[in-house]
Structure 1
Amino acid sequence: MNDWLDRDSTLRGAALALLIANIGIVCTGGLVRLTGSGLGCPTWPSCTDDSYVTTAAMGYHGVIEFGNRTLTFVLSVFAVVALAAAWRQRHKARTALRGAVWVLAGIAAQGVLGGITVRMALNPWTVAAHFLLSMALIAVAVVFWQRTRPEPPRWTAPRAMQAAAVVITAVSAAALVLGTVVTGSGPHSGDTRASRTGFDPEAMSQLHADSVFVLVGLSIAVWFGLRALGAPLRVTRAAAILVLVELAQGVVGFVQYFTGLPWPVVIAHMLGACLVWTATLNLLLAVRPRRVQAEERDHSLASTA
């Protein structure tokens, strides 16, 4: 067992599984809301006042809601494996160890916030916070996964390009926040008893779309800039992937808006939001210099002595 945990491939695989699972649980959470199953289990931490699991009386809404809750345990298993592997390899992966700790703590916080959301009868602001915490978890998972991969050849981007990547990340985050406001103002509340923000859905949709237009424009500009600078292929590819994912997400967004928000398209849009955010962070990490921790540097020097 220890030999398995000592393998670099185990740590990388667990980190990648965590990233994929965090994206997946966002989509299943969307399915809960879009099928009106947000209060399928009307309380927390139990499903009903008398049972910790769904009952026949709860119908398919209870099955969908309880199923989404159960996926938290799957995430936790991946996180524990990743933490165990990072601990076994802590002499050469201190940053990965910290990442594993943060992911596990975030999963616990997400479970608690999900319970608060249920107890507040799907208040749109707690639903938004629940989604945004998932985006924060995805960010930690992306960094964790990147830190478990072999360090690429060093390339230092100009400060202006690094600043542009930070701006893109901020705009991408703003688009996510505005997207939650659109959701909280629209028809898919998760349950007929859930309240709405009271904002005009069309106005919020336009504001969200404007932020996406800005994001796409900045991303295209950075891609051209990196090509002009002769940046390594892995860096220009990160920018190109971001632009392509953004354009695909834009198409899905227009389709869902003009077709009356059918739930399969909305799920695709939620998946796209996760992929845009992941690609944004991938670009940010690609252009920012990777800091070598002192303990990792000491280990490298000791191994070559």
Structure 2
Amino acid sequence: MALASLIANIALVVTGAAVRLTDSGLGCPTWPKCTGASYTTTSAMGVHGVIEFGNRLLGVVLFVVALACFISAWRQRPRRPRQVRLSLLVLLGIPGQGVVGGITVLTDLNPWVVGLHFLLSMALIAAAYALWHSTTEGDAEPIYVVPRPLRHLTAATALASSAVIVLGVVVTGSGPHSGDNGAKRNGLDPAAIAQAHADLVFLLLGLTLGLWLAFRAVNAPVPARAALTLLVIELSQGLIGFVQYFTHLPVALVAAHMLGASLVWTGTVAVLLAIRTRAALTAVSPSPEQAVSTPANTPVSL
């Protein structure tokens, strides 16, 4: 169920891209209803209404899956509080994401609100991945498997990944795919913002490569595999980004680039969680004094 929640949250990003790239952002021109008189799309709304309403329906599916995760975590015996908290975080985040999505419609696809909508999806993906990862580890206190300097390098890599995604949102807000022909753009120079975004991508690639080599040097195979996976995703995403830029942003490549952004962030969270491990909780052993103490009702020979 946790894996299904993660996949569904990534799928929501892709369907959101379809809404924007087909100019269907106002296919349902109001919220929470699709029209002033109907919660569902009507024939008068055409294909744009179908696409926008379909994206809203996927949000309902996300909520159902998240609710199933929370119920499963709550009913699990012994109950694992960390899984309950993570599943509740994902569950509560989905209605919040829906509200922000509604605000994007009510503000006629303001690019900054649309960007916040995407970033909230990234937060939900991180929480969903953490929930899925928790199913493969115990509940003891985390033990780091790499030295402190590499933990700092991991944090720096995650920070660079965050900056790449945030600046990518700004690039999107300055570009042509606004979600509707009449939607405003953020007014920034697309070429200048795209160049800054590319510079950060090169920084992220360098940090990730260094992280992979460092993990190998200290014989940390699990973090090394996670870093290598992230590096491969970044290289693929970078290639898509360059091709889409020089081919003037074809719709298919932009959609692939948004999927890639979700995978880059998922890979980043995977590296953050791979540098530590949690053992299963064990029963507390009696102290030596308790082990040799005489039971209260045991007769004592004098």
Matched, 1:22 2:9: yes
Indicate the residue corresponding to 2:292 in structure 1: none
Indicate the residue corresponding to 1:43 in structure 2: 30
**Match for 1:187: what amino acid?**
P
Give me the TM-score of the superposition, normalised by structure 1.
0.90
Output aligned runs, 1:206-245, within 5 Å: 206-231=195-220, 233-245=221-233
CA contact (8 A) 1:93 1:148 kept: no
Across the aligned residues of Structure 1 and Structure 2, the Cα RMSD in angstroms comes to: 1.9
**Match for 1:145: what amino acid?**
W
CA contact (8 A) 2:2 2:128 kept: yes
Number of corresponding residues: 285
| 1:138-157 deviation digits (Å, cap 9, x = unpaired) | 01111111111134996521
CA contact (8 A) 1:40 1:65 kept: yes
CA separation in 1, counterparts of 2:56 and 2:165? 23
CA contact (8 A) 2:168 2:197 kept: yes
Matched, 1:247 2:235: yes
**Match for 2:173: what amino acid?**
G
Matched, 1:122 2:104: no
Structure 2: segments with no counterpart, 5+ residues: 287-302
Of 133, 137, 145, which aligns to 2:120?
133
Matched, 1:187 2:176: yes
CA separation in 1, counterparts of 2:70 and 2:99? 21
CA separation in 2, counterparts of 1:303 and 1:27? 51
**Match for 1:251: what amino acid?**
L
Indicate the residue corresponding to 2:299 in structure 1: none
Select the structure of larger CA radius of gyration: 2
CA separation in 2, counterparts of 1:76 and 1:302? 39
| 1:166-215 deviation digits (Å, cap 9, x = unpaired) | 11111111111100100000000000121100000011111111111100
Identity of aligned residues (%): 55
Q: CA deviation at 1:111?
A: 0.4
CA contact (8 A) 1:90 1:97 kept: no
Indicate the residue corresponding to 2:132 in structure 1: 145
Structure 1: segments with no counterpart, 5+ residues: 1-13
Q: Which has the higher helix share?
A: 1
Matched, 1:270 2:265: no
Matched, 1:201 2:183: no
**Distance change in 2, residues 1:57/1:164 (3 Å):** same
Matched, 1:73 2:55: no
Counterpart secondary structure, 2:92 = helix
CA contact (8 A) 2:178 2:185 kept: yes
**Match for 2:107: what amino acid?**
M
CA separation in 2, counterparts of 1:176 and 1:90? 39
Matched, 1:282 2:264: no
Q: CA deviation at 1:92?
A: 4.0
**Distance change in 2, residues 1:260/1:96 (3 Å):** same
**Distance change in 2, residues 1:32/1:302 (3 Å):** same
Q: CA deviation at 1:284?
A: 0.7
Indicate the residue corresponding to 2:283 in structure 1: 301
Counterpart secondary structure, 1:301 = coil
Q: CA deviation at 1:94?
A: 1.2
Q: CA deviation at 1:117?
A: 0.7
